[in-house]
Chains A and B, each alone.
Chain A
Amino acid sequence: MTALGENPARPARGRRLRERLGDVDRRVIFLAVGLAVALPLIFPLRLPVAVSREARAYYDALEQLKPGDEILVSFDYEPETMAELDPMSLATLRHAFRKDLRVIALTNYPGAPGIAQRILGAAAAEAHKEYGVDYVFLGYNPDYSATMLRMGESIRQTFPTDHFGTPADSLPLLRQANSYADTELLVAISSTVMAEYWIIFAGGTFKEKVISANTAIQAVLIYPYFQTGQLSGFLGGLKGAAEYEKLIGREGDGLRGMDAQSMAHLLIVCFIVLGNIGFLLGRRERGREGPGRGPAQATGA
């Protein structure tokens, strides 16, 4: 039944549109997202990347250090977040080695030593750095909180040997740097709350300057620490990696992935708009038909 003067075909057309919007096969959405990601990787668009205040602060924290300064780098992530954090790790180490900083690397996750070894090895080989003098890898130590607190007293006692079983006392870098007091900066590359614990224990208890590279999901939780100054800078997700790569002037997987990221986001925004149009059309239609429809019917499922 239609109101006087209203075209009877219009509600039917509206219903058809709503049904179409509501009944899109999820595989079509997967395929569209897949294409939105794959095509820009094959045919790069070179979309511009703007640098945020947080990424600039992360870059500045490393850039301000002098050659020969020691920094701690904690690889606190495992294979499931490599896509986001590997580009940040590699860019950070490239930046550090270019500045002739000396890197003491470690991890708080048992699944991370392979990742850390690979990234450290690649960055050190590029910069012709010597193991034990320019960088060391301490490996994994169980119980992150005890590790973080004890490192404030003695790194050599916390890690009597490095990841490869070499005694810490025999490594020149560790003979010079034995606690937070001997290092200028701590870089927490983290996929979990581990960055927060570095802020709490190394930053809060021992007053170590902390910056962090985080997954996008963690970035939301880490923002308040940057606002209060407890964190001197941070990178959030692949976008953060791209911004940092732009700052150090070295393209990596972060910048290369930004076109795909932007296209996928654009597509998802379109899906959200279309989904909401379908929802609003359905609600208007239910309003026309009046009360009496149950919630299950009313959802249009």
Chain B
Amino acid sequence: MWSDVGVWVAAILTIAVFSLLYRDNPFYRAAEHLLVGVSAGYYLVNNYEASVVRKFVVPVFHQGDLWLVPGGILGLLVLLRLSRRAQWISRYPIAFYVAAWSGYLIPSVLQERILTQIQGTIPPAPWNAAPGALLGALVLFVGVVSILVYFYFSAPHTGILGGVSRVGIVFLMIGFGATFGYTVMGRVSLLIGRFQFLLRDLPASLTGP
């Protein structure tokens, strides 16, 4: 019964949002405001429960884990940003957070996103690779180098530099095209999801199990 009501509410809101495709109207705006309000309430309560209650209140006050108190005090100090006179104090917990975050993020990201990716630009012993793989490796190498040359701005892009950077533009355009294609695919998938809901789940709620 209540799940059927949920399906109907979802169907009405879906159609209200789709109505924007014709033109702006009060039904669309009502659905939009409802989404913003419900989302804000949901995330506020969920984050408070997950962060403050489960990570601080329960361990400190119910389990006596006092090691968390300094962290809790630092967290409260961030709220001093709301005070004009005391907002300078909030910089200290933020500085601590940024320093800790950078400390454990930078080495890992540098290794996995930069160094390993650079290593992957040229496969080990490419001369032993199959012809198809070798061609792929060559395209990858030329693409990476020519795009890097395109983003080198300390010399005029003329002569060899200009030619290589033009090759880089071609690779960039192929990349943008692939990104655009995937974006279209993603957006169409979302539309398919809504149509599957309207054409399958909604009639199913009418006919029953």
Contact = CB atoms under 8 A, between A and B. Distances in A.
Contact of B193 (A83, A203, A227): A83
B189 A83 contact: yes
B51 interface: yes
Contact of B185 (A34, A41, A230, A238): A238
A48 B185 CA distance: 17
Nearest to B100: A146
Contacts of A38: 195, 199
A299 B140 CA distance: 37
A216 B187 CA distance: 9
Nearest to A219: B182
B117 to A, nearest CB: 6
Interface in A67-90: 80-84, 86
A216 B105 contact: no
B101 A145 contact: yes
Interface string B97-130: 0000100110011011100110110000000000
B112 to A, nearest CB: 4
Contact of A260 (B22, B46, B47, B192): B192
Contact of A111 (B42, B185, B196): B42
B105 A236 contact: no
Nearest to A199: B112
A141 B46 CA distance: 10
Interface residues of A, number: 52
Contacts of A86: 193
Given A228-B116, A257-B196, A200 B186 contact: no
A219 B39 CA distance: 27
Contacts of A33: 188, 191
Given A38-B199, A145-B104, A237 B189 contact: yes
A264 B188 CA distance: 7
A201 interface: yes
Nearest to A203: B112
Contact of B55 (A27, A142, A200, A203): A142
Nearest to A84: B189
Interface in A104-163: 110-111, 139-142, 145, 149, 161
Interface in B112-152: 112-113, 116-117, 119-120, 140
Contacts of B184: 265, 268
A184 B179 CA distance: 32
Contacts of B95: none
A200 B113 contact: yes
Given A204-B108, A265-B188, 5 more contacts: A41-B192, A200-B109, A200-B112, A253-B193, A257-B196
19 contacts: A27-B21, A30-B21, A37-B188, A37-B195, A38-B199, A81-B190, A83-B189, A84-B189, A111-B39, A142-B51, A145-B101, A145-B104, A149-B104, A196-B113, A200-B112, A204-B111, A217-B182, A220-B175, A236-B182
